[in-house]
């Protein structure tokens, strides 16, 4: 018997449309799993159970004939989770920090508003790295985000709780944000799809100054199609954004993912780390080889190319990262920040305006050179990370925040480059390590070519068969059974008359 959480987000929405499942049934199923497993994997910092029930009930009461008019798109009634860095009106939003443990915003981020308008139902806030500063999620306001595939290992960051929740079957997909790899890193570690869209595709409003173009909201999902559907819900033009969005693809991003046919592409393959001179784990190299072979078998031309940027980019990137750590914090609460955050903020405060302007100018020079170097390529293929996993506590074990930060650079020497360039970039799971843990690869496209990236990722996903693989916790109760083994092919699921909730 299939479980409700075996269904993808799109399949759950289809079951609601056919009347086979109600939104409230799906919400109750996930709330039971969150109650049972969230603390184990460190997924949620705040669960909004009552509000989710109210919202799902209200959506269930809307007459079927008017649902798409009120909430256009294919995600009506599907649960989602919002990252704890993302403003959510009336809901505790801690930014992953004890310094904001009781903060409740009065406004929604645009992506929260847009996801609600699409008919999704938020189950709460997922754990995040403090102020988004690290690629692991081990703060003081919630348990550390652990990898559902191996609880001794990190789920990554800064969207670690989002990835842990999706991989453990606590929510079908989740909103994340990515300023230096923060959607793609957790996705790679947890065997998921993590997508960073082209700069400007998704609004960063209503607050903030755009973070020099580095951060973007993005989806974390089990399948490329689910990620694309969530991207469509968020990629709605909002006036006043600082970066111009490229035209949307015909039919939307979901249509591109469903086609899974980008045409014949020229794909540049490289494995040399870009932000650190760091040896790459054989399992990560093997994953790139696997992806390259599958893409070549699909008819693409895969050629070896030099890395478009190198370690000389790091001093420029870290300067900007230090400044980005200077989010407003009341002076009396600075002492409650983690050692790494305090270090980054001290360094950020020491950077003059002149230095920052010069750094941004030099970054743009390097981006232009890199884009000229790869102009003949449709996509880039490289590892997501330099190693398949890292234990919880490994980054902080020396007690030296400077060493912590350097370990992060060496662990993730690829992702942040594409935040600097603004290109669309996705981590796709393609293999398992020798220890049985997921290993992802990065596909990165030309700016504005999100449809090409998603279609190729979906094409690769079809050839790996990855979405059917799950960690052991996936089968742990409580669960509600549904009568379907292949819901997408069979056209639906049949609701069991007595849900098996254990």
DSSP H helices in 298-400: 314-324, 339-349, 353-373
Average pLDDT, the chain: 94
In a domain, 201, yes or no: yes
Asked if residue 128 lies in contact with residue 158, where contact means CB atoms within 8 angstroms, the answer is yes
Q: Which residues lie closer than 8 Å to 290 by C-beta, 6 or more apart?
A: 430, 431, 464
Asked if residue 60 lies in contact with residue 23, where contact means CB atoms within 8 angstroms, the answer is yes
Q: What is the CATH number of the domain that holds 447?
A: 3.90.1300.10
Q: Give the chain's domain count.
A: 1
In a domain, 458, yes or no: yes
**DSSP run (H or E) holding 269:** strand 266-269
Partners of residue 445 on adjacent β-strands: 379
Ranges of the chain with pLDDT below 50: 483-502
Partners of residue 478 on adjacent β-strands: none
Asked if residue 477 lies in contact with residue 36, where contact means CB atoms within 8 angstroms, the answer is yes
Q: What is the DSSP letter of 254?
A: H
In a domain, 501, yes or no: no
pLDDT at 486: 36
Known catalytic residues? 83, 158, 182
In a domain, 499, yes or no: no
Q: Which residues lie closer than 8 Å to 221 by C-beta, 6 or more apart?
A: 9, 166, 172, 173, 174, 192, 193, 195, 227, 230
CB atoms within 10 A of CB 322: 21
In a domain, 183, yes or no: yes
In a domain, 11, yes or no: no
In a domain, 164, yes or no: yes
In a domain, 16, yes or no: no
CB atoms within 10 A of CB 101: 14
Pairing type for strands 438-445 and 379-383 reads: antiparallel
- Alpha-carbon gap, residue 345 to 427, rounded angstroms: 29
Query: Which range of residues forms the domain containing residue 187?
Result: 23-58+67-472
pLDDT at 1: 59
- Alpha-carbon gap, residue 329 to 319, rounded angstroms: 20
pLDDT at 481: 62
């Amino acid at each position: 018997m299939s479980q409700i959480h075996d269904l993808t987000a799109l399949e759950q929405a289809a079951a609601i449309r056919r009347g086979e499942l109600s939104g409230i049934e799906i919400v109750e199923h996930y709330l039971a799993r969150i109650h049972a497993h969230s603390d184990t994997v460190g997924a949620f910092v705040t669960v909004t159970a009552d509000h989710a029930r109210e919202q799902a009930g209200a959506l269930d009461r809307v007459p079927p004939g008017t649902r798409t008019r009120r909430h256009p798109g294919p995600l009506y009634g599907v649960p989602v989770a919002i990252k704890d860095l993302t403003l959510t009106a009336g809901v505790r939003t801690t930014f992953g920090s004890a310094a904001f443990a009781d903060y409740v915003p009065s406004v929604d981020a645009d992506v929260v508003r847009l996801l609600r308008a699409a008919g999704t139902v938020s189950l709460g806030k997922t754990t995040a790295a403090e102020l988004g500063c690290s690629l692991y999620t081990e703060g003081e306001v919630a348990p550390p985000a652990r990898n559902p595939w191996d609880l001794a290992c990190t789920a990554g960051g800064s969207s670690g709780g989002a990835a842990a929740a999706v991989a453990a079957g606590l929510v079908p997909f989740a909103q994340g944000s990515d300023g230096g790899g923060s959607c793609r890193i957790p996705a790679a570690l947890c065997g998921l799809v993590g997508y960073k869209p082209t700069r400007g595709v998704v609004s960063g409003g209503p607050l903030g100054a755009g973070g020099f173009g580095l951060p973007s909201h993005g989806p974390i999902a089990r399948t490329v199609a689910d990620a694309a559907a969530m991207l469509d819900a968020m990629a709605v033009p909002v006036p006043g954004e600082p970066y111009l969005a490229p035209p949307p693809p015909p039919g939307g991003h979901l249509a591109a993912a469903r086609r899974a046919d980008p045409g014949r592409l020229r794909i540049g393959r490289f494995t040399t780390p870009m932000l650190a001179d760091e040896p790459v784990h054989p399992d990560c190299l093997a994953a790139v080889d696997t992806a390259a072979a599958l893409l070549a078998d699909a008819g693409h031309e895969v050629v070896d190319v030099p890395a478009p940027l190198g370690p000389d980019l790091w001093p420029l990137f870290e300067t900007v990262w230090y400044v980005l750590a200077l989010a407003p914090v009341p002076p009396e609460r600075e002492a409650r920040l983690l050692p790494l955050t305090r270090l980054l903020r001290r360094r950020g405060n020491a950077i003059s305006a002149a230095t920052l302007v010069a750094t941004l100018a030099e970054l743009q020079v390097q981006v232009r050179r890199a884009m000229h170097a790869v102009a003949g390529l449709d996509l880039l293929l490289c590892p997501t990370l330099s190693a398949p996993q890292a234990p919880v506590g490994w980054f902080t074990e020396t007690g030296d925040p400077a060493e912590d930060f350097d370990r992060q650079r060496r662990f993730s020497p690829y992702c942040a480059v594409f935040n600097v360039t603004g290109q669309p970039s996705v981590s796709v799971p393609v293999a398992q390590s020798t220890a049985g843990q997921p290993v992802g690869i990065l596909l990165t496209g030309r700016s504005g070519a999100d449809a090409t990236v998603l279609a190729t990722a979906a094409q690769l996903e079809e050839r790996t068969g990855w979405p059917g693989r799950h960690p052991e916790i996936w089968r742990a109760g409580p669960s509600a059974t549904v009568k379907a083994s292949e819901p997408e092919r069979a056209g639906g699921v049949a609701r069991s008359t007595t849900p098996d909730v254990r």
